[in-house]
Chain A
Amino acid sequence: MSASTAPFKERYRRSVGDPDLKPRLLAFQRSWRESRDAQVRRLEQRTERSFDELRREFAAVKDSTLKRIDDYIAEFRANAEAAGATVIELSTAEEAVNYIAAVCKSRGIDLVVKSKSMVSEEIELNHELEQRGVTAIETDLGEWLLQLAEERPSHLVMPAIHQKRQYVAEILGEELGREFDPDDIPTMVASARDGLRRHYLSAGAGLTGANALVAETGSIMVVTNEGNMRLATSLPDVHFVTAGIEKLIPSWNDAERQLQLLPRSATAQTLSTYTTCITGAQPGKEMHIILLDNGRRAMRNSDVIGDALRCIRCGACANVCPPYQVVGGHTFGHIYTGAIGLVNTTFHHGIADAAGPQGLCVSCGACHTVCPVDIPLPKQILEIRHRSHQAGHAPLWERVALRLWARPRLFHHMMGLAALGSGFARLIGLVRRDHLRAPLPRRLRWRSIPALPMRPGRSLVESRAPEPRLADSPAAGQTVDLFAQCLADRLLPTAVDSTAKLIEAGGASVQLPESQHCCGLPAFDAGDWDNARRMAKHTIEALEDSEREIVTPAPSCVISMQDHWPRLFADDAEWRSRAAAVSRRVHDLADWLEGPGRLPDGCLSNGEAAAWTAHRFCQTSNRGDAWGRIDTLVERLTGEAALPLDEPDVCCGFGGLTSLAAPEVGAGILERKLSCIADTGCETLITNNPGCVIHLRAGADSSGASHQTLHYADFLAARLPKHP
C-alpha cells in the first residue's frame, strides 16, 4: 500500500515523520502567496474591481448555472453533438469506468494517454481500467511521476509537490533504465519528454479533463502548461473527456471570467501556457464527453455544502492552509486535497474517507480569503465535522472531554482541583515561569503545560476596587457585563481582570453575570453540536437577563456567538431569537475600545518604548473584522509602534482541539509562527485570543524563546496610571 492510499492514521504518521515535507511546503506557500498577491493586485488595478467583487461575480455565474444545471447540460449536449461529439451523462464512478472500457474494447484500444484530469483521479480510472485490460498512461509530468510511484496527487495543481528530486531521480531512473543526477532537473525533464513521446505515438485514445464546458457552443476548455493535452488530443483517434457536471458555464464570456481567476489563483500566472478550446470531434475522429454526477447533485441539494460545487480546482485553499503545510495533501485530504477535499470527499467517496483529516483543520479561515469563487469553506468544514461526529468518527477522549466541559459545575470543580494541584506543584518546585516542569511524552514536548493560577479571573475582578476613570468614553456611566470566557477565566485570569480595568478606565462599571461558563465553541468546533447547544443555552441563560452591553477578552467567543449560534439553533426559532438577543450585545474588547468604550489616543503612553509585536488572531483577520487589528489599537493608545511581524494573520497552531488531536500539526504551525516572532527581535508578543496566548506562551517556554507573551489587555492595563 503506497503512502497515499494507506489508512488515515498511517498517512498521518508518515507525513509527520518526513523531515523534508514541512520546509518544502513552507517555501512553496510563501512564494505562491507573494506572486499570487502581486497578480491579484494587478488584476484589481486593470479591472478597477476588487478581488471580492470579481470572485462574487463569477460565483454568481456558477450559482445560476448550477441552479438550472439540466438546462445547461441539454444546451451543451445539443451543441456538442451537432459538432460530432457524443455526450453521455453518468451517475457513478463505476458507470464512467465501464463506459470508457467498453468504448476501448469495441475499438480495440489497449492504451490510453491521459492529460491531467481530477475526475479521472476521483474515479480511480487508471487502476480500474487496468483491471479491465486497458492501460492508461499519465502524460502530465507530475501525474506520470505519481503513476510511476503508485501514488495519489498531493495537490490539485502541483500533484507531485511532495516528491523530492532524489526520489524523482530514482523512479525515473527505474522507468527509463538509466541513472539521473537529482540536481539536474532539466535532464530529468527532457528524458521524461522522450519517455512519454512513444506512448502518444502508440495510444488508441487520449483522455483529458475540462476546466470548463461551454454550453453555448458545446465546447470544452482546458488549461495546461506542458502541452501534453494538445498532444494527447492530436495523435490518437479517440478523445475521451471526463468532467463533473459542475464544470458547465453558459458562454465564452464566462470562460474568460473564469480565466481571470483560475491561473492567477492556481500558479500565479496571468494565463497558463496553453488555453485550448475544442468543439466537437475532429474530422475522422471520435470525441466522447462524459459528464459525471458522482454525488454532485446531492451536494447541490445541500444548503450548506452546495456552494462547494463552484470550485474551479485552483488549489489556492491548500496554498494558504497552515496544517496542509505541515502534513501535505496525502494526509490533508483524500483524493481531493486541501480545504475543498475536506468538504467534497464526503460526497464523492463517503464520510468514512472524509472523516480522518477533519481534525487537522485549525478553523483559521484562511482558505476562504483566497478562494476565487468565494466558497465558505470554513463553515462547510464545520458542517462535515458535525456529520462525521454524528457518524461516530470522533475519538473517545474528545467525546468524554466535551461531555465534561459541557457541565459547568463539574468543569468548575475540575478546574479548581487542577488549580490546587498546580499550587501544590508550585510548592514542591515543579513550576517554573508558570509552567509545569514534569516530564512529558516526546510528542507533547513542544509545548509546556501551563500551571493553573490559584484564583480565577472573575475573583480577581470582584476582589479589588474599581479602576479610576482615566477618560470619558462614550459609554461612561454605563454598566457592562463581562463575559470572562471559560479558558481565560482559569488559565489567563489577569487578562480578564485587565479587560475589566480597561472598561472601567473609560468610565463604565463592570458586572460579572453569575453562572457564566462556555459559549460552546470547543464542542461546536469538534462537531459535537448537542453538547455545543447545551453550553450555548447555558450561556444565553446566564447573559439574557439584562439589556447591558457584553464585553469579552475572547474574540473566538464573539465569533462563536455571532456565527455558530444561529447554526446551532437553525431549527429552533425560540432559542434562535434568544441567542440573537444576546449576541447582538456582545463586543470583543478591542471592538469596545474602538467603539462605545473608546479611549483617547495616546492615553496609555507611559513614556517607555517597548519592543513589541502583535500576532493577530487568525479567525478575526480572515473574517475581515477591523477590530482584529489589535496592533493598530495598541499603537493608537500607547503611541508605540509595533515591530513588523511577517505573516501576522497566519494561525499560531492553537486551533482549539486540533493541537490536542494532532499535536504535530499544532507544533509545526507554532514553529512557523515562533520563527517569524523571533525575526522581529521583540521582547513582548501580544495577541488577542486567550487560547492563542496560552498556546504561544507555552510554545515559547518550551522552545526557550526569550520574549514574553501577553494578552493585549494585560499589555495595555500595565500602562494605566499607577494608583495607591
Chain B
Amino acid sequence: MTTTSERTALFADGLRAAQGELAPCRTWDDIWQYAISLSDETPVVAPAAYAHLQQGELPDENEPLRSIADRSVGITVATLAVAETGSVLLLEPAPIDRAVSLLTRRLIVAVAESDIVDELADGFRWLAQQPRAAAYATFVTGPSRTADIERSLTIGVQGPSRLVVAVLA
C-alpha cells in the first residue's frame, strides 16, 4: 500500500517529468494569493473553482471562450490526480467549464491530496463508474506542447504554457 505522502511525491515526480509544476499552496486561500502574485490581471476562475474561491472573474456565460482567450492566469479544479503519470482529471461538460483550462496562459489546477490515485487504471475505473463523468473528461499531463518543427520541444503551443498543480491538504 502506498501512503498518501508517497503518492503525492510520486505525483509530483510525474508532473515535473511532464514539465508541470507544483504550486506552494495547501489551501484555497494560498491559491488565490499565489494567483494574484503571478500577474496584475484578475485571475479567471472556472465555475467549479469559483464555488470554493468566491472571487475572481468567471467566463462570460454567452461567449465563455472568446471572453477569456489568452488571459494570463486561470484557476480550475480537478476531480482526481494520477500519481503514476502526474496527470489531473478535469471534468468539463460545457464550454464554460473548459474555457479556463483551454485558453489561459498559466493554469492553476487545484486537487485535494486525498483525491490522488495510484495509477491511470484507477482513474479510468472511477471514470467508468460515474454516470456522465465522461461527457467531456480530460486527463491533463503537463502544459500544451509540440515538437512538430524539427522535433524541437516547444511548450505552450495552443493551450496553457504553464501548468501548476496545487495539492490541497
Q: Which of A145, A260, A278 contacts B136 (CB 8 A)?
A: A278
CA distance A510 to B160 in the complex (A): 72
Number of interface residues of B (CB under 8 A): 49
Residue of B nearest to A146 (CB): B148
CB of B46, distance to nearest CB on chain A (Å) = 13
CB of A243, distance to nearest CB on chain B (Å) = 17
Q: Does B47 contact A (CB under 8 A)?
A: no
Whether the Cβ atoms of B18 and A270 lie closer than 8 Å is yes
Stretch at the interface among B28-36, B49-57, B124-132: B124-132
Whether the Cβ atoms of A253 and B141 lie closer than 8 Å is no
CA distance A260 to B82 in the complex (A): 14
Q: Which of B17, B69, B120 contacts A259 (CB 8 A)?
A: B120
CB of A98, distance to nearest CB on chain B (Å) = 29
Decide yes or no: A189 and B120 within 8 Å by CB, A225-B144, A253-B125, A282-B136 being known contacts. no
Q: Which of A197, A201, A225, A270 contacts B145 (CB 8 A)?
A: A225
Chain A residues positioned under 8 Å from B140 (CB to CB): 273-274
Chain A residues positioned under 8 Å from B25 (CB to CB): none
Whether the Cβ atoms of B102 and A227 lie closer than 8 Å is yes
Chain B residues positioned under 8 Å from A139 (CB to CB): 158
Of B103, B125, B132, B136, most A-chain CB atoms within 10 Å:
B136
Chain A residues positioned under 8 Å from B123 (CB to CB): 256
Whether the Cβ atoms of A277 and B94 lie closer than 8 Å is no
Q: Does B85 contact A (CB under 8 A)?
A: yes
Q: Does A228 contact B (CB under 8 A)?
A: yes
Q: Which of B128, B145, B149 contacts A251 (CB 8 A)?
A: B128
Q: Does A618 contact B (CB under 8 A)?
A: no
CA distance A132 to B166 in the complex (A): 49
Q: Which of A163, A168, A219, A260 contacts B134 (CB 8 A)?
A: A219
Chain B residues positioned under 8 Å from A278 (CB to CB): 134-136
Q: Does A193 contact B (CB under 8 A)?
A: yes
The size bracket of the interface on A is: 35 or more
Q: Does A271 contact B (CB under 8 A)?
A: yes
CA distance A112 to B39 in the complex (A): 35
Q: Which of A141, A142, A164, A217 contacts B128 (CB 8 A)?
A: A217
Chain B residues positioned under 8 Å from A217 (CB to CB): 128, 134
Q: Does A46 contact B (CB under 8 A)?
A: yes
CB of A130, distance to nearest CB on chain B (Å) = 23
B139-169 with Cβ < 8 A to chain A: 139-152, 154, 157-160
Whether the Cβ atoms of A231 and B149 lie closer than 8 Å is no
CB of B9, distance to nearest CB on chain A (Å) = 16
Q: Which of B65, B84, B95, B146 contacts A142 (CB 8 A)?
A: B146
Q: Does B4 contact A (CB under 8 A)?
A: no
Whether the Cβ atoms of A276 and B138 lie closer than 8 Å is yes
CA distance A142 to B65 in the complex (A): 24
CB of B99, distance to nearest CB on chain A (Å) = 8
Q: Does B38 contact A (CB under 8 A)?
A: no
Whether the Cβ atoms of B65 and A227 lie closer than 8 Å is no
CA distance A186 to B144 in the complex (A): 13
Decide yes or no: A277 and B146 within 8 Å by CB, A226-B159, A227-B157 being known contacts. no
Q: Mark B104-121, 1 if CB is under 8 A from A, else 0.
A: 000000000000000011
Q: Does B87 contact A (CB under 8 A)?
A: yes
Decide yes or no: A185 and B158 within 8 Å by CB, A227-B102, A273-B141, A276-B137 being known contacts. no
Whether the Cβ atoms of B158 and A142 lie closer than 8 Å is no
Q: Does A459 contact B (CB under 8 A)?
A: no
Chain B residues positioned under 8 Å from A344 (CB to CB): none
Whether the Cβ atoms of B159 and A227 lie closer than 8 Å is yes
Whether the Cβ atoms of A280 and B135 lie closer than 8 Å is yes
CA distance A185 to B140 in the complex (A): 24
A160-219 with Cβ < 8 A to chain B: 160-161, 163-165, 168, 185-186, 188-189, 192-193, 196-197, 201, 216-217, 219
Chain A residues positioned under 8 Å from B124 (CB to CB): 252-253, 255-256
Q: Does B24 contact A (CB under 8 A)?
A: no
Chain A residues positioned under 8 Å from B134 (CB to CB): 217, 219, 252, 277-279
Q: Does A140 contact B (CB under 8 A)?
A: yes
Q: Which of A145, A201, A273 contacts B143 (CB 8 A)?
A: A273
Chain B contact residues, majority secondary structure: mixed
Chain B residues positioned under 8 Å from A31 (CB to CB): 151
CA distance A165 to B150 in the complex (A): 6
Decide yes or no: A230 and B102 within 8 Å by CB, A272-B141, A273-B143, A277-B137 being known contacts. yes
Whether the Cβ atoms of B139 and A275 lie closer than 8 Å is yes
CB of B75, distance to nearest CB on chain A (Å) = 18
Whether the Cβ atoms of B128 and A168 lie closer than 8 Å is no
Of B125, B145, B157, B159, most A-chain CB atoms within 10 Å:
B157
Chain A residues positioned under 8 Å from B127 (CB to CB): 252, 277
Decide yes or no: A271 and B139 within 8 Å by CB, A226-B157, A234-B95 being known contacts. yes
Q: Which of A145, A255, A279, A283 contacts B148 (CB 8 A)?
A: A145
Q: Does A24 contact B (CB under 8 A)?
A: yes
Whether the Cβ atoms of B84 and A185 lie closer than 8 Å is no
Residue of B nearest to A280 (CB): B135
CA distance A154 to B98 in the complex (A): 33
CB of A259, distance to nearest CB on chain B (Å) = 6
CA distance A270 to B120 in the complex (A): 10
CA distance A477 to B128 in the complex (A): 67
A323-379 with Cβ < 8 A to chain B: none
CA distance A168 to B147 in the complex (A): 13
Whether the Cβ atoms of A270 and B14 lie closer than 8 Å is yes
Residue of B nearest to A142 (CB): B148
CA distance A228 to B65 in the complex (A): 14
Q: Does A424 contact B (CB under 8 A)?
A: no
CA distance A240 to B119 in the complex (A): 31
Decide yes or no: A253 and B128 within 8 Å by CB, A272-B141, A273-B143, A280-B135 being known contacts. yes
Whether the Cβ atoms of B69 and A197 lie closer than 8 Å is yes
CB of B27, distance to nearest CB on chain A (Å) = 28
CB of B82, distance to nearest CB on chain A (Å) = 8
Chain B residues positioned under 8 Å from A282 (CB to CB): 93-95, 135-136
Chain B residues positioned under 8 Å from A186 (CB to CB): 154
CA distance A161 to B147 in the complex (A): 9
Chain B residues positioned under 8 Å from A231 (CB to CB): 102-103, 158-159
Decide yes or no: A226 and B144 within 8 Å by CB, A253-B121, A256-B124, A270-B85 being known contacts. yes
CA distance A279 to B142 in the complex (A): 24
Decide yes or no: A189 and B128 within 8 Å by CB, A274-B139, A276-B137 being known contacts. no
Decide yes or no: A283 and B94 within 8 Å by CB, A142-B148, A189-B146, A189-B154 being known contacts. yes
CA distance A164 to B17 in the complex (A): 28
A-B CB contact pairs (8 Å), 28 listed? A24-B150, A31-B151, A140-B148, A141-B146, A141-B148, A141-B149, A142-B148, A158-B151, A161-B151, A186-B154, A189-B149, A189-B154, A225-B145, A227-B144, A227-B159, A227-B160, A234-B99, A253-B121, A256-B123, A270-B17, A272-B141, A273-B145, A273-B159, A274-B159, A277-B136, A282-B135, A283-B93, A283-B94
Seen from chain A, the residues whose Cβ lies within 8 Å of a Cβ on chain B are 24, 28, 31, 46, 83, 139-142, 145, 158-161, 163-165, 168, 185-186, 188-189, 192-193, 196-197, 201, 216-217, 219, 225-228, 230-231, 234-235, 251-253, 255-256, 259-260, 267, 269-280, 282-283
6 more A-B residue pairs beyond the given contacts A145-B148, A231-B102, A282-B93, with a C-beta to C-beta distance below 8 A: A163-B150, A165-B149, A189-B149, A197-B69, A270-B86, A279-B136
Seen from chain B, the residues whose Cβ lies within 8 Å of a Cβ on chain A are 14, 17-18, 65-66, 69, 84-87, 93-95, 98-99, 102-103, 120-121, 123-125, 127-128, 132, 134-152, 154, 157-160
Top 6 A-B residue pairs of the complex, sorted by shortest distance between their CB atoms:
A227-B159, A142-B148, A252-B128, A227-B144, A275-B139, A256-B124
